[in-house]
């Protein structure tokens, strides 16, 4: 018997959603300050208005729904999915006000794309966008990649058990540290340390490459945020091609890989257990699968003959593959070139790379390496069962931070979410084809959205059909939250309508 | 949250960057090998 | 007779003039990228606004030029680049240039980048700084919202002091 949501449910959900909105409002003050520093008055006003609206709504919610009770699972999950939607709406306000997006929907697409670290963009005239607005485009991934809820957990939430439920609802089912609030803080520590280092390095490289100092460091910070959070936004319309720099490409590749690593792995390595990187099933799977997929893609590209030199193959072929596999979405080619220069086999390889994604508990999207690892090991186990004598007991071990025995319930969980992702990729592809786009293009773009990649073969443009924009928004949202919170939200509404 | 040793952190970052470079190097070698084989 | 010759010469001149201009129709970035294989290695004319930073690399320079649809990287030598005054950004409109050069689908010299190696450039219109004017509508809206926010904060403070007053009382 489905029970209708009670007032306490609404209160809990409202209260925590309100707190998250207050957090988002406060973060909007950062681009506002940057706008003032660069003497961009109107953009600064845009962000002040956005912050005010977020704070007003957030404060009213926390006041009306004030509660000291802790969250249960359903409430925690609903808070996550709902606050991601609210964030998308509120964060879009300053962007829309800049005039660089064709509609409020386009601005919402951009913020959902940013916060989910996808990177598909509908911005117009990016080369004339203010520093303030551009920074906000890049801050979205920086906040969303680590987790909007994760930020809130660092500062706002006191009840630990409710905190854990929200943490899990945001697509992380492993704690980095026993206390989920400490986990959140560690995730931020890694991000900030790499931010400072990378901004420095990229800034210096930028200056050496001929950029003005302020731009070099601004771009450095933005590029780091979008690379480490495997988002894919860049401050200029040509994406990474703007820089025409091998060094830049190499550095961004390193950052992308770092961002696609499990934060638990970062923790282990940073606390002395350096061997873990090569025992861990995810880091091994990532290495092997990237190279295998690259081989397939390379064969495809060689057949078409697009990249006739080794260095060119590396900078154009491999760059896009690693961008896809880490679900970043940085491009050193134009979108149309995927269709013209890549051929079906290479594109298929790329789609697989996007579909598989990076590590779990990282900023990357896709099905994720842990699930793939679990499924492959389960297959191995079943094969062994067939080959070995019937009375033999077949135990399969898997090393993920520690030695574990593979259990059926893990395999079941992995398979279910994998199927959910595959279904999402397929549904998006069907919608694309419904609007008249070819099969491979539709599948490419749909996978890019649902796995939060951001590579585009040309479908994502401001003139895209509204229905497709909405489809991709839902895909990006569901993919980032790994379905459970989204299902919880749907379940919540079903219960509200049909419950007793 | 215990980060006991600054030394561990720095070495840890080095290991991670090394891992990333290893992937890239492997890919680059594949590119070079493919170039020679096709010729 | 003289008139006839004059007319003939003017007509011929006009035809020749049209001929040179028409055969040098500027191509859009979309056309260049979409038909990259067709234009690969050929001399093309491209018109657009310089955006971002002009990046010096030794004796040559990268300038990214945006024609409203996409931006393409232009590789110029230092002398040509010296003529560029403004690059587009939030606060500036860049020089609008007509570039004649060789287009590459995957320039081997530059790691496979799509680019144009410029042979000559011509400034069509100069760039300038763009001074933004304060949007008074936004400014007023900001103040109104500030008012609302203050009211909300006051309301919250009051409720809180009332509640704590009740508890201690």
Is residue C17 domain-resident? Answer: no
The total number of structural domains in chain B stands at 1
Which residues does chain A have within 8 Å of residue C111's beta carbon, measured at their own beta carbons?
Answer: 246, 311-312, 315-316
Give the mean model confidence (pLDDT) for residues C17-39.
78
Please indicate whether residue A355 or residue A498 has the higher confidence score (pLDDT): A355
The mean of the pLDDT values for chain A is 92
Inter-chain contact B24–A294, Cβ cutoff 8 Å? Answer: no
Query: Which residues of chain A neighbour C34 with C-beta distances below 8 Å?
Result: 336, 340
Range of the domain at C50: 26-129
Average pLDDT over residues A242-263: 96
Domain encompassing residue B11: 1-39
- Is C158 at the interface with chain A, CB within 8 A? no
Q: Which among A182-186, A289-293, C83-87 has the top mean pLDDT?
A: A289-293
Q: How confident is the model at residue C21 (pLDDT cuts 50, 70, 90)?
A: very low
The confidence score (pLDDT) of residue A465 equals 97
pLDDT for C127-159, tens place per residue?
999 988 999 999 999 999 999 999 999 988 887
How many domains in chain C?
2
Closest partner residue to A244 (CB to CB) among C51, C73, C153 is: C73
* Residue A133: φ, ψ to 5°: -65, -40
Using one digit for the tens of pLDDT, what is the confidence trace for A295-308? 999 999 999 999 99
Q: What integer is the mean pLDDT of A345-355?
A: 97
Residue C19 has pLDDT above 60, yes or no: no
pLDDT-based confidence at residue A71 (cuts at 50, 70, 90): confident
Which of residues A4 and A86 earns the better pLDDT score?
A86
| Inter-chain CB proximity B27 and A314 less than 8 Å | yes
Choice between A401 and B39, residue whose per-residue pLDDT is larger: A401
Judge whether C94 and C53 are in contact, CB under 8 Å: no
Calculate mean pLDDT across residues A172-178: 71
**pLDDT for res C20:** 44
Distance, in angstroms, between A455 CA and closest chain B CA?
Answer: 20
Lowest-confidence segment of A161-165, A452-456, A474-478 by average pLDDT: A161-165
Give the chain B residue whose CA is nearest to the CA of A262.
B16
Residues C123, C141, single domain; the answer is no
Lowest mean pLDDT among A380-389, A409-418, C1-10: C1-10
Q: Tell me, yes or no, whether C50 and C101 share the same domain.
A: yes
pLDDT band at A389 (very low <50, low <70, confident <90, very high): confident
Q: Which of A53, A128, A238 is closest, CB to CB, to C90?
A: A128
Q: CA torsion B22→B27→B33→B37, rounded to 10°?
A: 160
- The overall average pLDDT reported for chain C is 88
Least confident of A72-76, A336-340, B21-25, C158-162: C158-162
CB-CB under 8 Å, A130 with C148: no
> Given an 8 Å threshold on Cβ–Cβ distance, is A241 in contact with C152?
no
Domain-wise residue ranges, chain A: 7-259, 274-474
Identify the closest residue of chain C to A64 by CA–CA distance.
C156
pLDDT of residue C87: 94
Indicate if the pLDDT at residue A164 is higher than 60: yes
The span from the CA of A184 to the CA of A145, in Å, is 12
C162 pLDDT more than 80: no
Residue of A nearest to C61 (CA): A210
The whole-angstrom separation of Cα A144 and Cα A114 is 7
Q: pLDDT digit string (tens) for A266-287?
A: 999 999 999 999 999 999 999 9
Identify the pLDDT of residue A415. 95
C48 close to C65: Cβ distance less than 8 angstroms: yes
Cα gap C87→C66, rounded to integer Å:
10
- Considering the domain architecture, whether residues C33 and C88 belong to the same structural domain is answered as yes
C53 within a domain of the structure (yes/no): yes
Same domain (yes/no): C43, C120: yes
Residue C48 is predicted with a pLDDT of 96
Q: Is the pLDDT of residue A288 over 60?
A: yes
CB contact under 8 A, B35 and A295: no
Residue A168's pLDDT band, with cuts at 50, 70 and 90, is confident
Q: How far is CA A83 from the centre of its chain?
A: 16
* Closest alpha carbon within chain C to A214: C53
What Å distances lie between residue A251 and A247, A288, A324, B17, C152, CA to CA? 6, 21, 16, 10, 47
Mean pLDDT of A473-488: 93
DSSP string, A427-495: HHHHHHHHTT--HHHHHHHHHHHHTT----SS--STTS-HHHHHHHHHHHHHHHTTTHHHHHHHHHHHH
Residue C163: is its pLDDT beyond 80? no
Question: Taking CB atoms and an 8 Å cutoff, what residues of chain C touch A215?
Answer: 52-53
Contact in structure between A246 and C111 (CB atoms under 8 Å) = yes
Touching status, chains A and C (3+ beta-carbon pairs under 8 Å): yes
Judging contacts by C-beta atoms under 8 Å, the chain B residues touching residue A189 are 1, 3
pLDDT reading at C168 higher than 70: no
Residues from chain C contacting residue A42 (CB–CB below 8 Å): 132, 134-135, 138
B residues 10..39 contacting A (CB < 8 A):
11-13, 15-17, 19-24, 26-28, 30-32, 34-35, 38
By Cβ distance, the residue of C33, C55, C71 closest to A237 is: C71
One domain for residues C59 and C102: yes
**pLDDT mean over A149-169:** 67
What is the distance between the alpha carbons of residues A258 and A255, in angstroms, rounded to a whole number?
Answer: 5
- C45 and C122 assigned to the same domain: yes
**pTM exceeds 0.90 for this model:** yes
Enumerate neighbours of A (3 or more CB pairs within 8 A): B, C
Residue C9 is assigned to a structural domain of this protein: no
Question: Which residue in A114, A150, A141 sits closest to A20, CA to CA?
Answer: A150
C-beta atoms of B9 and A270 within 8 A? yes
Give CA–CA dist A484/A242, Å, rounded.
Answer: 39
Among C66, C113, C141, select the one facing A237 at the smallest CB separation: C66
């Amino acid at each position: 018997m489905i029970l209708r949501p009670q007032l306490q449910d609404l209160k809990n959900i409202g209260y925590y959603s309100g707190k998250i909105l207050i957090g988002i409002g406060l973060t909007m003050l950062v681009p506002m300050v940057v706008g003032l520093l660069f003497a961009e008055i109107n953009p600064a006003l845009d962000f002040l208005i956005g912050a005010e609206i977020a704070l007003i709504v957030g404060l009213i919610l926390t006041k009306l729904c004030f509660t000291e009770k802790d969250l249960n699972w359903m409430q925690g999950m609903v808070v996550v999915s709902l606050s991601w939607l609210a964030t998308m709406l509120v964060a879009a306000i300053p962007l829309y006000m800049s005039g660089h997006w064709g509609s409020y929907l386009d601005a919402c697409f951009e913020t959902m794309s940013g916060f989910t670290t996808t990177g598909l963009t509908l911005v117009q005239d990016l080369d004339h966008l203010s520093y303030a607005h551009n920074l906000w485009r890049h801050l979205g991934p920086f906040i969303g990649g680590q987790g909007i809820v994760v930020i809130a957990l660092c500062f706002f939430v006191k009840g630990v058990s409710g905190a854990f439920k929200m943490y899990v609802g945001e697509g992380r089912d492993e704690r980095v540290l026993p206390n989920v609030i400490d986990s959140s803080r560690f995730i931020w520590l890694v991000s900030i340390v790499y931010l400072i280092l990378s901004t420095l390095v990229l800034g210096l490289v930028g200056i050496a490459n001929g950029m003005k100092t302020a731009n070099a460091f601004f771009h450095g910070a933005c590029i780091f945020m979008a690379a480490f959070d495997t988002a894919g936004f860049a401050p200029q319309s040509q994406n990474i091609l703007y820089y025409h720099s091998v060094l830049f490409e190499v550095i961004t590749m390193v950052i992308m890989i770092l961002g696609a690593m499990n934060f638990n792995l970062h923790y282990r390595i940073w606390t002395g257990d350096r061997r873990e990187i090569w025992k861990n099933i995810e880091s091994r799977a990532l290495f092997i699968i990237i190279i295998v997929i690259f081989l397939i893609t390379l064969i495809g590209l060689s057949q078409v003959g697009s990249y006739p030199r080794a260095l060119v193959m590396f900078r154009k072929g491999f760059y896009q593959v690693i961008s896809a596999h880490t679900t970043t979405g940085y491009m050193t080619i134009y979108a149309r070139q995927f269709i013209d220069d890549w051929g079906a086999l290479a594109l298929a390889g790329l789609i697989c790379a996007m579909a598989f994604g990076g590590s779990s508990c990282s900023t990357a999207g896709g099905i994720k390496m842990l699930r793939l690892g679990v499924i492959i090991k389960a297959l191995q186990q079943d094969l062994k069962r067939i080959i070995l004598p019937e009375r033999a007991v077949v135990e399969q071990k898997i090393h993920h931070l520690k030695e574990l025995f593979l259990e059926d319930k893990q395999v079941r969980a992995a398979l279910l979410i994998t199927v959910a992702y595959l279904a999402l990729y397929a549904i998006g592809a069907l919608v694309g084809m419904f609007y008249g786009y070819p099969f491979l293009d539709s599948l490419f773009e749909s996978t890019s959205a649902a796995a939060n990649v951001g590579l585009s073969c040309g479908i994502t443009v401001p003139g895209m059909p509204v229905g497709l924009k909405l489809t991709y928004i839902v895909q990006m949202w569901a993919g980032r939250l790994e379905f459970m919170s989204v299902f919880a939200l749907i379940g919540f509404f079903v219960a509200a309508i049909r419950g007793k | 949250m215990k980060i006991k040793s600054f030394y561990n952190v720095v070495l840890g970052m080095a290991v991670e960057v090394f891992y990333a470079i290893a992937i890239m190097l492997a890919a680059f070698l594949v590119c070079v090998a493919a170039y020679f084989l096709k010729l | 007779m003289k008139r006839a010759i004059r007319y003939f010469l003017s007509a011929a001149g006009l035809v020749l003039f049209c001929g040179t201009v028409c055969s040098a129709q500027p191509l859009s970035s979309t056309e260049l990228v979409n038909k990259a294989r067709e234009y690969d290695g050929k001399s093309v004319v491209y018109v657009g606004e310089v955006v971002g930073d002009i990046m010096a690399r030794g004796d040559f320079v990268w300038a990214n030029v945006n024609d409203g649809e996409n931006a393409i990287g232009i590789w110029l030598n230092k002398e040509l680049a010296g003529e560029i005054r403004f690059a587009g950004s939030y606060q500036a409109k860049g020089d609008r240039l007509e570039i004649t050069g060789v287009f590459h689908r995957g320039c081997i010299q530059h790691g496979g980048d799509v680019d144009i190696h410029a042979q000559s450039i011509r400034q069509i219109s100069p760039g300038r700084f763009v001074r933004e004017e304060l949007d008074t509508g936004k400014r007023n809206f900001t103040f109104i919202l500030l008012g609302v926010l203050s009211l909300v904060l006051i309301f919250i403070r009051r409720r809180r002091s009332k509640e704590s007053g009740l508890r201690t009382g």
